[in-house]
Amino acid sequence: MRVISAPHEFNEEDLYVDLRSTVGRSLFLKCEGFNFAGSIKLKVAIEMVEAAERGGALTPGSVLVESSSGNLGVALSVIAASKGYRFLCVTDARCNLSTRRLIEALGSEVHIITEPDAQGGLLGARIDHVRALCAADPRYVWLNQYTNPGNWKAHYRRTAPAIARAFPHLDVLFVGTGTTGTLMGCARYFREWHRPVWIVAVDSVGSVAFGGPPGRRMVPGLGMGIRPPLLDESYVDEVVLVEEADTVRVCQRLARSGFLFGGSTGTVVSCAMDWLDRHDGRELTAVAIAPDLGERYMDTVYQTNWVREIYGEDALIDPSATAVTR
């Protein structure tokens, strides 16, 4: 039995799905969705909040404010509610309704930005709004996940050591990238480890994070419209960009095996499958990180009409399909 008195005291850190029977490749998927925030961002939220408390930036009466379109907003709502802070989440029209409802149900406030900034787009307008709030009222504290070292340190201290304990002979690690916090924390940890690990950063086509041309991106979680300030490419061995139609197909196929994962998991697994085929990965120990579960994607990745409209009929798998073979 485990008994907790604060939501962040529970986080399943040791659960892996062996995908051999599901995708036909030797690949272990680290499941990060089993906690009260439903995603890997719980570790980031608690790391950043407690660092701000220790540093004196966050005191009783402070109001947390953050720009987030999803999982970090939910995670900060959980932590803020548990610790007695107010939290204001600045998001935009792309934030899905269920995520917004989750944040509000946890007692946080949501500001929705509708007008993009001429240069910085909606993300730029969100950040301008956060800056304006902080300038107008000293109670507002912006943790800023895009630049906060607590973002990568959470994974350096927790995610990567957990993988290292479970797979002492790890050869290759596949990590999806948004802010690049997960990537940088894991890559830094494994750079110092007892054996070399090949670090593959996985992003969506259309993200400019690694210098690619901008394009339409509809699956939330992965990708950036700017170069991520936390990114240091000297720690990354390989970058792979995945088409969103492939993301959606892999998510649907995993779901047909009973594993309902979030959109970015489809991206990372899609990349890993191709990579393992290209490198004859049968003898390799390979791990991929699954940042969340699928319930938040019912109106997108798992909605037939949405998929058909955005990616066309080819992105929909045969309803009778069970194994992920491609």
Ligand X SMILES: Cc1ncc(COP(=O)(O)O)c(C=O)c1O
Q: Which residues bind ligand X (CB under 6 A)?
A: 39, 41, 70-72, 176-183, 221-222, 262, 264, 291-292
Shortest Cβ distance from residue 318 to ligand X (Å)?
Answer: 26
Shortest Cβ distance from residue 230 to ligand X (Å)?
Answer: 8
Shortest Cβ distance from residue 181 to ligand X (Å)?
Answer: 4
* CB-CB contact of 73 with 66 (8 Å): yes
Nearer to ligand X, 35 or 182 (CB): 182
Residues 6+ apart with CB under 8 A from 33: 39, 40, 261, 262, 290, 291, 292, 293
Nearer to ligand X, 71 or 108 (CB): 71
Nearer to ligand X, 11 or 182 (CB): 182
SS3 98: helix
Shortest Cβ distance from residue 69 to ligand X (Å)?
Answer: 8
* CB-CB contact of 244 with 217 (8 Å): yes
* CB-CB contact of 175 with 199 (8 Å): yes
Q: What is the DSSP letter of 157?
A: I
Nearer to ligand X, 62 or 148 (CB): 148
* CB-CB contact of 197 with 167 (8 Å): no
Shortest Cβ distance from residue 319 to ligand X (Å)?
Answer: 25
Residues 6+ apart with CB under 8 A from 271: 174, 200, 202, 240, 242, 288
Nearer to ligand X, 62 or 265 (CB): 265
Largest CA-CA distance found in the chain, in angstroms, rounded:
58
